[in-house]
Chain A
């Protein structure tokens, strides 16, 4: 597929999201006309661009919905739940149509939807609409491919500024024609400045009050063509004069100003070049000079000044818009940029190390400058990849709406912190886990309206999605006011599934965490939505794969809160650099609780028992030297890194803790991708490769090895 078609699809997906968001809001506020306009605009653009790109079937399909929404705009059709349902379903069909290549005919569902839309149109309006549609289609066909590309861009249609001089016939008023109505029609085309020229109005004693003496200079900025302007004056008599000139074509000028008043006046033939030349010799402002010399009257100067001001403002706005505009860049290019910045960071670290080693002041100075620039470049590049999570939150509104309706529940989704930014990759990978959590909340958490009423709760359940920054992490919370988790039920199910021994004591929190175990579900019935126990364990794994963690809190009868802790970015890691023999490893800082040093005799006992006592807490100990089969003798004093994995503390024995490090993550080659306990690598300043440890996986590997030994 070529780039233009790709950009069409990308833009249409965005428009469909916009349409969906507008419809969901409209459902809540059916009287809000701005939302009807928003939905209409999205449909109109989908229709237009689809027709331009040869997706005629999408254009025609959208046209039917747009027609109905046009009537909604005009107040002929009310906004009802049925209309919203139909439109949302149609929106999904358009989405599907974009996905498939080739088109034979609409599916039976699509045909039914079209029929349903047609049936919404009152009979007396049906014919008029057909006529209008034909006209509209004719206009669409005139658009050239060049215009298509322009229309698809994020810029609004080109705005042209016209100068219109309207000189009505003297007897126009006697013909019962009101010239001011023409001015109002012109105003409807765009941004307009109107100046009446009154110099032909005679003195009060001689004026014939029924005659029209006034003429007008109108400056209009619009996306409409000159023909559209002439059409307004189509029915005016032959004696009236209408001239239309383009004075600004909407292109960016080197200057953001406009012509001088003298230039405007000579161009309009209000004064001659000679008259202009004569007055320019004096020191007064040109307008005043012309007035003083009675060359023109106040109205003429006023209209020239108005024209100058109007166009100047337009040009300045255009110039600002260009300077503030954004461009669309493919994600691949961004990824490549991040990779290159990663390489640069590595080289810069080497340079810093080499400069320090050589102790040459000039080299150190250069390396410090490179370090500063690299750091700025890295931060800027990473910020480009950051996206607000709000767009992801908005997607779930539809999920909540449809699912709660299917399950006979009333659920409202509220969001907070939608502008919190996260790395693009994190956001993309967060979608599925959030879908699972929300589906579970609606299916198992929120009660039916009747049950909620019995429990003296509002019939309407609430799911509250929020995001907030917490250091270098983002906390995403999914909170519902449903039934909450029943620790007794979870405990019984865990015992039934051998996940817990009957005599085993567990805190409420530990019991809650059991729902993330594979195949765990307390649902008594398996529904199409959830209950098979597939999902929450996948959710946990997905969050951990994002180097995040998951936490759960619940109160029976009050509700459940699930908190996801995620790193801001996956491209950079904050870690602790540790050394074992000659090898370097990075432990993600997110997983680290503390570092401790034990006396040799205690350490020796810990190593034998694979357990250590941390302030009266028995913590499993993993000797990384042993786990990675690293040969050689450990140093006399070893250090221990205490981490948190799967909700419990785990201690790792290392030779040395080098220090905190912020580094760019490099993915491992195919051969090493399956190595358990290693999630990636990074290159240190001296070119050495350091492996990044996956703490959770390491613990799992150690558990497997331990089980193997026992068996």
Chain B
């Protein structure tokens, strides 16, 4: 699965390569959970993004809500922000997901 996490200096980086589908939803939740526990800032980097599933957007929303309570942050790598914004907008999530 093209999904991995690396933690350094209180920042966790989750790297996803390619399509973000339902197949990786459970694994994604696990990684987000670990990342939020281990670091105050979680950076998500998506390489070769071709599709973003609703499950991912729901997870990010829920994770950002949790971060908000715990004074933590989830941010996106600048290389994927613009494209991700497009998916977020298409899904009508612009008002709920914070994009950096």
Contacts and interface: CB of A to CB of B under 8 A. Distances in A.
Given A196-B96, A210-B26, A204 B90 contact: no
Interface stretch (B3-11, B55-63, B77-85): B55-63
A302 interface: yes
Interface residues of B, number: 25
Contacts of A180: 54, 90-91
A299 B25 CA distance: 24
Interface string A192-218: 001110100111110101101110101
B22 A183 contact: no
Nearest to B32: A204
Task: Name the residue among B26, B33, B36, B96 with the largest chain A CB count within 10 angstroms.
Answer: B96
B55 A210 contact: yes
B28 interface: yes
A195 B95 contact: yes
Contacts of B32: 204
A173 B57 CA distance: 13
A262 interface: no
A201 B63 CA distance: 11
A287 to B, nearest CB: 12
Given A173-B54, A216-B92, A204 B62 contact: yes
B93 A198 contact: yes
A298 B93 CA distance: 12
A659 B63 CA distance: 89
A194 B92 contact: yes
Nearest to A184: B90
A176 B66 CA distance: 28
B40 to A, nearest CB: 16
A701 interface: no
A209 B59 contact: yes
B91 A196 contact: yes
Nearest to A168: B54
A207 B59 contact: yes
A209 B58 contact: yes
B66 to A, nearest CB: 4
A173 B25 CA distance: 11
Contacts of B90: 180, 183-184, 187, 194
B51 to A, nearest CB: 9
Contacts of A214: 54, 57-58, 91
A116 interface: no
Interface of B is mostly: helix
A178 to B, nearest CB: 7
Contacts of B53: 173, 178
A215 to B, nearest CB: 10
B96 A198 contact: yes
Nearest to A202: B62
A202 B96 CA distance: 14
Given A178-B53, A210-B55, A299-B96, A204 B91 contact: no
A218 B22 CA distance: 24
A179 interface: yes
Given A173-B55, A180-B90, A214-B54, A207 B29 contact: yes
B65 interface: yes
A207 B32 CA distance: 12
B72 to A, nearest CB: 11
Nearest to B23: A210
B63 to A, nearest CB: 5
A621 to B, nearest CB: 83
Given A184-B90, A204-B62, A204-B63, A178 B54 contact: yes
Nearest to A215: B92
A70 B36 CA distance: 54
Contacts of B61: 198, 201
A274 to B, nearest CB: 27
Task: Name the residue among B53, B59, B66, B95 with the largest chain A CB count within 10 angstroms.
Answer: B95
A388 B66 CA distance: 65
A100 to B, nearest CB: 52
Contacts of A194: 90-92
Contact of A212 (B28, B54, B65, B96): B54
Interface string A208-237: 011011101010000000000000000000
A198 B61 CA distance: 8
Contacts of A202: 62
A179 B65 contact: no
Interface in A338-375: none
Given A173-B22, A204-B65, A209 B95 contact: no
Interface string B25-39: 110110011001000
Contacts of A176: 22
A207 B92 contact: no
A201 B92 contact: no
A201 B58 contact: yes
B87 to A, nearest CB: 8
B54 A195 contact: no
A299 B96 CA distance: 8
Interface in A79-119: none
B64 to A, nearest CB: 9
7 contacts: A173-B53, A178-B54, A196-B93, A198-B93, A204-B63, A207-B29, A209-B29
10 closest Cβ pairs, A-B complex? A196-B92, A194-B92, A209-B25, A204-B62, A204-B66, A302-B95, A209-B29, A196-B93, A207-B62, A198-B96
Given A178-B54, A209-B55, A299-B96, 20 more contacts: A173-B22, A173-B55, A178-B53, A179-B54, A180-B54, A180-B90, A184-B90, A194-B90, A195-B95, A196-B57, A196-B91, A196-B92, A201-B61, A204-B36, A207-B59, A209-B28, A210-B26, A212-B58, A213-B58, A214-B54
